[in-house]
Amino acid sequence: MPAPRTLGAFADVKTVLDAALRANGGTYRLRTHGAAIKWRQRAYQYRKLLLDIAERNDITGLVPASTPYDGLELRIEGSAVIIAPREPVGVFIPASGPAINLEEVKKETEENEFTEAARKFADELRGRVSTPPTLPFDPEESDGD
């Protein structure tokens, strides 16, 4: 049987993944090991469907499609799916200089992305507010009737 092609078919998966994002990871317990494997497969199908939709709707082709769930790792342990954010596990040592704290790099990147998004939003609001609406007539030329 082919994978469902509608987002509504994955409402249960979305609920769990959203909770995992909100909690920065967690465990989703199911009744059996087989049920955990099937749910994880459906979660992968949902993520793939979201990517397909994002790619179809991208008119620029400049930014790679992504989903909010791309950074989540889904691992099976018995009858549970462990959902955890992917994190660097090693130490980065540049060609010259001391080792770099990857947590600091991640924090700086997140702050820069947030700042950039906030700036774009503010610019968009300024553009909307700075241009007064066009009236279909000039109120100063009104004959006062």
Which of residues 55 and 19 earns the better pLDDT score? 19
Cα–Cα distance between 122 and 128 in angstroms, integer? Answer: 10
At 18 the pLDDT is 95
Cα–Cα distance between 83 and 76 in angstroms, integer? Answer: 9
Burial (0-12, 13-18, 19+ Cβ within 10 Å), 139: exposed
Three-state DSSP class for 92?
Answer: strand
At residue 73, what are phi and psi to the nearest 5 degrees?
Answer: -100, 135
Q: Summarize pLDDT for 91-141 with one digit per residue, the tens.
A: 788 888 888 877 777 777 766 666 776 777 677 767 665 555 555 656 566
Q: Which residues contact 37 (CB under 8 A, 6 or more apart)?
A: 76
At 28 the pLDDT is 98
Q: Summarize pLDDT for 27-86 with one digit per residue, the tens.
A: 999 999 999 999 999 999 999 999 888 888 876 666 677 889 999 999 999 999 999 998
Confidence of residue 145 (pLDDT cuts 50, 70, 90): low
At 80 the pLDDT is 98
Cα–Cα distance between 56 and 122 in angstroms, integer? Answer: 28
